Amino acid sequence: MSYYQLTFQPAVTRQPRHVPILRVDPGEETAPRRAVEVLRAGGVIVFPEEDGYYVGCLASDAAAVDRVRQLTGAAPDQLVRYATSGEDGARVPVHPVVRALLREVGGPLVAATAPAGRRPAPTAQQVVFVVGDGVDLVLDAGQILALPAAA
């Protein structure tokens, strides 16, 4: 019992799970093996891009895409498609870690900001604060300071 005689029930009825965070070198041209394994197994990861951090998965995995949408609150038109070329309006990633992931997994990724519709968070920790333990892996390349668009 508290001072105000109120009782509280936990909002989460399950045990939170540990989410691995891998520190990656922002200039690294190879994909972390663990990230490739997680994506191929239908997982959802947090990854860096030139303008901040995104929550993403393989575009070919419908269940993982649904998880990304649930975690971020993204509508279908708010998902960003990443591919090694600009086919079908896909965004070609600038960050070397994402380019390496695309090469290794052999298919496009889809991603969203967390929360959807906002600017990407500059740190992986800010994304984890929003999505909690709903992701399977976090790739942390440090703070990303996006440059403002040229006028």
Of the candidates 26, 133, 147, 145, the residue with the CA atom closest to the CA atom of residue 71: 133
Q: Which two tokens stand for residue 51?
A: 């303008």
Query: Model confidence over 22-72: pLDDT tens digits?
Result: 999 988 888 899 999 999 999 999 999 999 999 999 999 999 999 999 999
Pairing of strands 137-140, 80-82: unpaired
Please tell me the pTM assigned to this model. 0.86
| Confidence bin at 86 (pLDDT 50/70/90) | confident
| Token pair for 85 | 């070329």
CA distances 49 to 8, 17, 40, 69, Å, are 40, 26, 20, 19
Two structure tokens written together for 59: 């575009």
**What pLDDT is attached to residue 72?**
96
